[in-house]
Structure 1
Amino acid sequence: MTTYGHSSPMGMTRLPTPPFWVCILLGIVMIGAGFLVLGDLAFFTVISTIFIGWMAIVAGGFEVIHAFWTKGWGGFLWQVLLGILYLAFGIVLVTQPLTSALILTYVLGLVLILSGVVRILLGISHWQEAGWVMLLSGVFGILAGVVILTGFPATGLWVLGFLLGIDLIMHGIGWLTYAWMPASRTV
């Protein structure tokens, strides 16, 4: 008789679990990087804008190549136009990072307000299923958007870097938390 254990170090996804020390190292590095970013928000806002620009250029290039590669799919012209739009957007972000950071920050403020309104409406319509959490999330989204837009254009010089720094710190805390979870301990 063969017995199969369900407590493998691979977890539910069947991917190997990183060793304890790797999780700790990732957590510490990400938290350190987050504090580094928070140390110079304007610089990392510009760096983030340039990075987003290069990603748009790469995506646009692949979109155009994909359009020519799969001509039989239909929508060839739309794929090429979308690829060119991505390329143009990326080039503007890379060549004009300060102005682009302002534009991205303004768009971020608008998107936060819009998504906040949608989340509030969803929260109200799903009130019986803990919709108050979604409603609260929507209120915070709207408040964040209003803070960004009322401080504009000055917020354009620090918001993207601030969000990147906070995200890195939270990601690092996530790795440290994961490292100390009993189910993930493999040395």
Structure 2
Amino acid sequence: MATESTTNESMQAQLQQGGIVGGVLLALLGLLALFTPFITGLALSILLGAALVVGALIHVAAAFSAGSARGVLWQVVLGIVYGVVGISILANPILGLTTLTILVIAFFAVEGIVQLVWAVTGAGSPLWLGTSGVISLLLAGMLLVGFPATALWAVGVLFGVDLLVTGITMALHGRSERETTVSETTAEAAG
């Protein structure tokens, strides 16, 4: 029994350490993305194009097992659409980056409107929902006013901020878990 408990504690400590290290690495990648937003945005655009090409191949492969002529047709049509869009993005990643920026603007605008409507209807916390909605609309407006120049940095900056916040959160969570485990182990040893 003691060996099993020691093994579980050892594995838990390794997972916590991995969470801390992983969080720090994500935060560092977030900082790198923040300092190189254009390169980050292009990389994301290329990744999206490649993913769409892979999706095209998967749809075409799925056409062989679709079971009906109609299923084959739709799989092939989807494969063609995925392939054309993916190859277009790979051929011109800046166009893909511009498209991603337009999608981000649309996302912020829709999110802001939904949150404001939600706040006005009284669901949830109106103050926080309303504040979040206004911030989302302001972000959409700022990106739209500066468009197309915002396409050069917006996606990379937003991705960098997300990685940075996620990394810091992971590292702090891992540290908190480790401190909790240490205090529980100390309490068990004393008791």
If the length of structure 2 is used for normalisation, what is the TM-score?
0.78
The 3 A distance-change label for structure 1 pair 82 and 119 is farther
Matched, 1:83 2:79: yes
Q: Once the 2 structures are TM-superposed, how far is the Cα of residue 119 of structure 1 from its aligned partner?
A: 2.4
Contact 1:60 1:82 in 2 (8 A): yes
The 3 A distance-change label for structure 1 pair 138 and 80 is farther
The 3 A distance-change label for structure 1 pair 141 and 80 is farther
Alignment partner of 2:49 out of 50, 53, 70: 53
Q: Once the 2 structures are TM-superposed, how far is the Cα of residue 24 of structure 1 from its aligned partner?
A: 1.4
**Structure-1 residue corresponding to 2:109:** 113
**Structure-1 residue corresponding to 2:98:** 102
- For the residues of structure 1 that align with 2:137 and 2:157, how far apart are their CA atoms? 18
- For the residues of structure 2 that align with 1:82 and 1:169, how far apart are their CA atoms? 35
Higher relative helix content: 2
- For the residues of structure 1 that align with 2:63 and 2:119, how far apart are their CA atoms? 40
Please tell me the residue identity of whatever aligns with 2:115.
Answer: R
Q: Once the 2 structures are TM-superposed, how far is the Cα of residue 109 of structure 1 from its aligned partner?
A: 0.9
Contact 1:19 1:186 in 2 (8 A): no
- For the residues of structure 2 that align with 1:111 and 1:185, how far apart are their CA atoms? 39
Alignment partner of 1:20 out of 11, 16, 21: 16
Q: Once the 2 structures are TM-superposed, how far is the Cα of residue 44 of structure 1 from its aligned partner?
A: 1.3
* Identity within the alignment, %: 28
Q: Once the 2 structures are TM-superposed, how far is the Cα of residue 66 of structure 1 from its aligned partner?
A: 2.0
Matched, 1:93 2:89: yes
Contact 2:119 2:127 in 1 (8 A): yes
Contact 2:112 2:137 in 1 (8 A): yes
- For the residues of structure 2 that align with 1:74 and 1:183, how far apart are their CA atoms? 56
Matched residue count: 173
**Structure-2 residue corresponding to 1:156:** 151
SS at match of 2:47: helix
Q: Once the 2 structures are TM-superposed, how far is the Cα of residue 74 of structure 1 from its aligned partner?
A: 5.4
Q: Once the 2 structures are TM-superposed, how far is the Cα of residue 107 of structure 1 from its aligned partner?
A: 2.7
Q: Once the 2 structures are TM-superposed, how far is the Cα of residue 145 of structure 1 from its aligned partner?
A: 1.0
Please tell me the residue identity of whatever aligns with 1:150.
Answer: V
Q: Deviations over 1:114-168 (max 9, x none)?
A: 232122222322x153244333322222111111110011100001111111111
- For the residues of structure 2 that align with 1:180 and 1:142, how far apart are their CA atoms? 35
Q: Once the 2 structures are TM-superposed, how far is the Cα of residue 90 of structure 1 from its aligned partner?
A: 1.0
SS at match of 2:41: helix
Q: Which runs of 5+ in 2 are unaligned?
A: 1-7, 183-191
- For the residues of structure 2 that align with 1:17 and 1:54, how far apart are their CA atoms? 38
- For the residues of structure 1 that align with 2:75 and 2:115, how far apart are their CA atoms? 31
Please tell me the residue identity of whatever aligns with 2:87.
Answer: I
Alignment partner of 2:28 out of 14, 27, 32: 32
Contact 1:19 1:185 in 2 (8 A): no
